[in-house]
Structure 1
Amino acid sequence: MADIIQLLPDHVANQIAAGEVVQRPASVVKELLENAIDAGSLTIKLIIKDAGKTLVQVIDDGKGMSVTDARLSFERHATSKIRNADDLFLLNTKGFRGEALASIAAIAHVELKTKQEDDEVGASIVIEGSNITSQDVVVTPKGTSLSVKNLFFNIPARRNFLKSDTVELRHIIDEFYRVALAHPNIAFTMYNNGSESFNLPISNYRQRIVNIFGNKTNEKLVPVDEDTEVLKISGFVGKPEYAKKTRGEQYFFVNNRFIKSAYLNHAIASAFDGLLKSGTHASYFLNLTVNPQTIDINIHPTKTEIKFDDEHTLYALLRSAVKHSLGQFNIAPVLDFERDANLDTPYSYSNSETKPSTPSVTVDRSYNPFKEETSFKSTPQPQKTSYKKESTEHWESLYVGVESKSNVTQQDFSEVQFESEQATASIFSDDNQIEQVHTTYQLHNKYIVSTIKSGMLVMDQHRAHQRVLYEDFLKNITVKESVSQQLLFPLELHFTTQEVVIIKELKDDLESTGFIFSNFSTESLEITGVPVSVPESEVSIILEQLISDVENEVPDSHFSATDLLAKSMAKSLAIKTGQSLEKNEQEHLVNKLFACKEPNVSPTNKTTFITMSVDELDKKFI
């Protein structure tokens, strides 16, 4: 029998390896930026065209490479970072696998220009699909310039899996944020399709955060600083009142490397326990410095997951450090046992002596409640007559009008009893004479129970209201006949640069729903009108939810963009679970739901109501 196992060709092996390292253009951006940082650069420039599908170029002023190193850098498992397996647990650099450039070169057109400081000329290498097409001597500045063009040109199937340009650009910006936040001592510049998107000068950590997320972020930050033998924590957490419904501004860095850790994220959440509204998440930008021997970075191809030697200790230290900072800066309530008791005394009495004084009681000894007869004519209660024996001269006047009052009281009771008999009689009248009324009942402030001809209907109030609002917004956006209410004072909202860009792209559709925008800047926008159904206090929440939905699921077609906008606004404005509704509100919601085109499901294709027939109810009692 012939042998069936064979070695893969190098170009096929490189393409398979590229599937682990390069998932999308953002993966190329991450690898190239990390290589530039390892080269000791002080200035790094990132150039993007067509969301990285056409061009990803990184230019740095690092130490550069020799001709031999430039050629070897594209070989598989060629690296200058490690010499043996033990070095994997002593890493202080970014790229160490030696797979990045080889994988990128296997699926793209790559052009490398590099020069060391002491050399007069540099080297230029052009590679297409792992094949070196040219190698020349060029005049180039000190450092390295690496251009990656036509990503996945030889793997069309992988290229088809890429999302729209907006989605891919969002992922590139996320990687740019992560690298830039980890290294505030390096200047970063990013260009997208010829225009400058970010210009981040060398600064401290707080300034870097503000430069990325906007000037309004500065007032939201609370410093965290803790240094122990096991762990050093530095950075900032966001104040609870600025918590968002999304997890966008949550960054962990371990030894200047961005990581994702649900376990450590839970430590932050527990530190904010009792301070956040339900469904919101605190922002944090935390740097953790640990001994490289206590972590294992080499457990995931993208190196965003790290295994810690003692996670429980890190959890406790991180939670305590954040709690301490929140209490130290009066963000969280604390018990202060060293409070000066003199603070309880008003300032005006701080130096005066307090003299005890006995309260005085004055009595009007000449007061006689029986002195005036008129005071008892309107009061049919003679109880006090037995306690005053000195005034018995006009005792008959106490009972004047009592008999007539008693008769009136009896007459009143008889009338009430007569009305009650009439109401009781109407209840037990013939059933055919009573008009049947459909009634509703709210169950646990979550479901609305209503009677139908065949039995009973149970409706989810949140999903049902989503369907009603969704179809209303979709109609308004499509027909462009929405009603807007003008605000007495313009509403100014602050967002990051990229969030403002997203809102600008959706400006026309938002105006079709009733929003009116008067001014846009790089980090803020001004609203002068909102839809009639939208409270002013909900505007910022709606836009934040909309931005989150767009970032996670940006559609390609205009119709899909309209659909997503209607879904997002309906989700934000729908009646929440736990909200009590009046009878007329319950009936109105039921009627509005069944007036919709598709009342059976919510905008997210979840069931809005169920029905139960009388026969099904009867079977429950068998």
Structure 2
Amino acid sequence: MAIKILSPEVSARIAAGEVVERPASVVKELIENSLDAGSTRIRIETKGGGIESISVIDNGRGIPEEDVFLVFKRFATSKVETADDLEAIETLGFRGEAMYSISAVSEVEIATGVDNERAGSRLVVRDGAIVEQSLIAVNRGTKVKVNRLFRNFPARRKFLRTHSAESGRIKSLVQRYSMIRPDVAFELIQEKSRPFSTTGSNDIRNVMSSIYGYETADQMLEVKLDEILRDWHGPVVTGIVGTPAQTRANRSHMNIFVNGRWIQSKTVSYAFEQAYHGFMADRRFPMGVLDIRLPTEDVDVNVHPAKTEVRFRKESDLFGSVQHAVRNTLLQSAPVPPASRRVNSQGQFDQGRVPAVRPTFWPTSIGSIPLSDNPDMDNNLFGPGYSESVDYSDSIANQQSNTPHGTLPVLRVLGQIKNTYIVAEGPEGAYLIDQHAAHERVVFEQ
């Protein structure tokens, strides 16, 4: 067969096949355009799982009348001008392929307006060609409506899942963008589904409450920027993560963003998981949102048209930064509580309970070990009738451990080293205990 140049129709469908995989891909590209336009409110409406129609309405800057005709041209963008710009991409979109690809496999209607123009612009594009155009009265912002997705691409349409499954993918996508942009009010309206919305209050915990519920969000831990890293020019990690008790059966609740872009990275995901090593059981995975900020020259986002795969220049530094930030948050939120003693009416020390530092942090409980059960301990060390019990019971479980008494003598906690080791005093001298290994033993025995 002789070599031929593909027709514009065929080449457009091939390009669309990379960018527009399913309805959620369309929603992703339109939301990113809205965010790049400075929108503070974004409304998404879908019908038939996004196959029948998708509408995205924002209050962004809008598109001037003279530029609106370029929106559906291939490689037409306002975000990149020179090759050097590709080395420091700061916007979510930059390839100039999204609207061109969407219009090649559907019918698209766009209505947009800017502040300094008397009227807005409206275009209808079908199969990549403009079929209608007019001036309309419209508020500042842009509305894009995509109808009959893959109407001329049956090979792609037959591989789509059910309407409910495609709707679920769209909902998950919108929730991810609401996590990384809590300052933007999102609203999602779908058929036969409860509407999802956020307030745009710039509070990540409020967003997590809208997604997972108030109780779950209230217990999650914020990953905050260390003061010593404020002048650091490497990877900076912030966000919100679940406690070791808030684990999930798969990795779908691990949301990773780099410079505001949702990505999929085995390296970062593994670092996220390793931060919980010793805190949770096997085959369980953490949940949360990590917002990683990197110098733009240290990350390459121009890897795939979907823009979810990226490459890092200093991958080992990124791994260490993610693991340290998350693990340090876990350790700071679960320090070893100080031992406490109470004196009863006879002047003797009575058993005291040390409350958990944060409710439901630990997924297990550790019972008390009475001093009198240890034959090697001199009970008269602090006076006749003295007995002591240190109880680290979880505030929710409130159950006694199955760990046999007498495994260790009763210890008096002296302090903690680097949020990792417990320093304690016993009858035979000082004890240095790896608190994470001890927790793993407790989980194993239970």
TM-score (norm 2): 0.74
Offset at 1:247?
Answer: 2.0
Offset at 1:346?
Answer: 4.1
- Per-residue CA deviation, residues 392-442 of structure 1 (Å, 9 max, x unaligned), is xxxxxxxxxxxxxxxxxxxxxxxxxxxxxxxxxxxxxxxxxxxxxxxxxxx
Preserved contact between residue 31 and residue 56 of structure 2 (Cα < 8 Å): yes
- Percent identity over the alignment is 35
Of 161, 164, 174, 2:162 maps to 164
Q: Which amino acid aligns with 2:217?
A: N
Offset at 1:284?
Answer: 1.9
Distance, in Å, in 2 between the alignment partners of 1:45 and 1:315 is 36
- Per-residue CA deviation, residues 360-382 of structure 1 (Å, 9 max, x unaligned), is xxxxxxxxxxxxxxxxxxxxxxx
Offset at 1:39?
Answer: 0.9
1:107 aligns with 2:105: yes
- Per-residue CA deviation, residues 14-42 of structure 1 (Å, 9 max, x unaligned), is 11100000000000000001101111111
Distance, in Å, in 2 between the alignment partners of 1:168 and 1:190 is 14
Q: Which amino acid aligns with 1:280?
A: R
- The verdict on how the C-alpha distance between 1:195 and 1:329 changes in structure 2, with shifts beyond 3 A counting, is closer
Matches within 5 A, 1:248-287: 248-287=252-291
1:197 aligns with 2:195: yes
In the other structure, the counterpart of 2:22 is: 24
Q: Which amino acid aligns with 1:167?
A: A
Q: Which amino acid aligns with 1:215?
A: Y
Larger Rg: 1
Q: How many residues align?
A: 347
Offset at 1:59?
Answer: 0.5
Partner of 1:239, secondary structure, is coil
Matches within 5 A, 1:102-251: 102-193=100-191, 197-203=195-201, 204-227=203-226, 228=229, 229=232, 230-251=234-255
Offset at 1:192?
Answer: 0.8
Q: Which amino acid aligns with 1:48?
A: T
- The verdict on how the C-alpha distance between 1:325 and 1:120 changes in structure 2, with shifts beyond 3 A counting, is same
Distance, in Å, in 1 between the alignment partners of 2:333 and 2:13 is 53
Offset at 1:262?
Answer: 1.3
The structure where helix makes up a greater share of residues is 1
1:299 aligns with 2:298: no
In the other structure, the counterpart of 2:89 is: 91
Offset at 1:157?
Answer: 1.6
Distance, in Å, in 1 between the alignment partners of 2:293 and 2:270 is 19
In the other structure, the counterpart of 1:10 is: 8
Offset at 1:242?
Answer: 1.8
Offset at 1:357?
Answer: 10
Partner of 1:147, secondary structure, is strand
Preserved contact between residue 205 and residue 218 of structure 2 (Cα < 8 Å): no
Partner of 1:35, secondary structure, is helix
Offset at 1:281?
Answer: 0.8
Offset at 1:7?
Answer: 2.3
Preserved contact between residue 113 and residue 119 of structure 2 (Cα < 8 Å): yes
Distance, in Å, in 2 between the alignment partners of 1:221 and 1:295 is 29
Partner of 2:67, secondary structure, is helix
| CA RMSD, Structure 1 to Structure 2 (Å) | 2.4
Structure 1 stretches of 5 or more lacking a match?
360-622
- Per-residue CA deviation, residues 97-153 of structure 1 (Å, 9 max, x unaligned), is 000000000000000101111111111110110111011111112110100000011
Offset at 1:197?
Answer: 1.1
Partner of 1:59, secondary structure, is strand
- The verdict on how the C-alpha distance between 1:105 and 1:356 changes in structure 2, with shifts beyond 3 A counting, is closer
Distance, in Å, in 2 between the alignment partners of 1:356 and 1:53 is 77
In the other structure, the counterpart of 2:48 is: 50
1:313 aligns with 2:317: yes
Matches within 5 A, 1:425-574: none
Preserved contact between residue 247 and residue 287 of structure 2 (Cα < 8 Å): yes
Structure 2 stretches of 5 or more lacking a match?
350-379, 385-446
- The verdict on how the C-alpha distance between 1:345 and 1:61 changes in structure 2, with shifts beyond 3 A counting, is closer
Distance, in Å, in 2 between the alignment partners of 1:166 and 1:139 is 35
Preserved contact between residue 235 and residue 317 of structure 2 (Cα < 8 Å): no
Partner of 2:100, secondary structure, is helix
Offset at 1:9?
Answer: 2.2
Distance, in Å, in 1 between the alignment partners of 2:192 and 2:245 is 38
1:290 aligns with 2:288: no
Distance, in Å, in 2 between the alignment partners of 1:255 and 1:261 is 14
Offset at 1:167?
Answer: 1.3
Distance, in Å, in 2 between the alignment partners of 1:147 and 1:133 is 15
Matches within 5 A, 1:55-74: 55-74=53-72
Q: Which amino acid aligns with 1:254?
A: V
- The verdict on how the C-alpha distance between 1:318 and 1:347 changes in structure 2, with shifts beyond 3 A counting, is farther
Q: Which amino acid aligns with 1:252?
A: I
In the other structure, the counterpart of 2:442 is: none
Distance, in Å, in 2 between the alignment partners of 1:66 and 1:240 is 50
Offset at 1:195?
Answer: 6.7
Partner of 1:235, secondary structure, is strand
Runs ≥4 residues deviating over 6 A: 355-359
Distance, in Å, in 1 between the alignment partners of 2:224 and 2:190 is 36
TM-score (norm 1): 0.53
